[in-house]
Homo-oligomer: A and B are copies of this chain.
Amino acid sequence: MSTDAPERRTYSYLGPAGTFTEAALAQVPEARGQIWRPVSNVGQALDDVVGNRAHAAMIAIENSVEGGVSSAQDALATIPGLRIVGEYIVPVRFSLVAPPGTTLDEIVARDLVTVAGHPVAYAQCLAWLGQRIPHHEHIVAASNVASAVGMLDGSLPAQVAIAAPGVADHYDVEVLAENVGDNASAVTRFVLVTGTVAPPAPTGADKTSLVAELPKDEPGALLELLEQFSTRGINLSLLESRPIGDALGRYRFVIDADGHVSDERMADALMGLRRFSPSVVFLGSYPRADRRVVHHPDRYGDDAFVEARDWLRGLIAGEPGS
Contacts and interface: CB of A to CB of B under 8 A. Distances in A.
A35 interface: no
B81 A312 contact: no
A8 to B, nearest CB: 23
Interface in A38-74: 62-68, 70-71
A188 to B, nearest CB: 9
A185 B246 contact: yes
Contacts of A104: none
Given A311-B274, A317-B198, A230 B241 contact: no
Interface string A269-312: 01110111000111000000000000000011000110111011
A320 B185 CA distance: 31
Given A185-B246, A227-B231, A275 B198 contact: no
Given A220-B230, A222-B239, A275-B299, A62 B196 contact: no
Contacts of A65: 243, 245
A320 B81 CA distance: 6
Contacts of A3: none
A5 interface: no
Range of interface residues on A (Cβ < 8 Å): 35 or more
Among A189, A261, A322, the most chain B Cβ lie within 10 Å of the Cβ of A322
Contacts of A248: 62, 64, 89, 187, 189
Contact of A271 (B186, B196, B228, B305): B305
B70 A67 contact: yes
A315 B240 contact: no
A183 B246 CA distance: 8
Interface in A62-103: 62-68, 70-71, 80-81, 83, 89
A177 interface: no
A159 interface: no
Interface in A212-265: 215, 219-220, 222-224, 226-228, 230-231, 235-243, 245-249, 251, 261-262
Contacts of A185: 246-247
Contacts of A123: 71
A319 interface: yes
A89 B231 CA distance: 36
B230 A226 contact: no
19 contacts: A66-B243, A80-B320, A80-B322, A81-B320, A196-B318, A198-B317, A198-B318, A199-B315, A219-B235, A223-B227, A223-B230, A228-B231, A237-B249, A238-B241, A239-B251, A262-B316, A271-B305, A272-B308, A275-B304
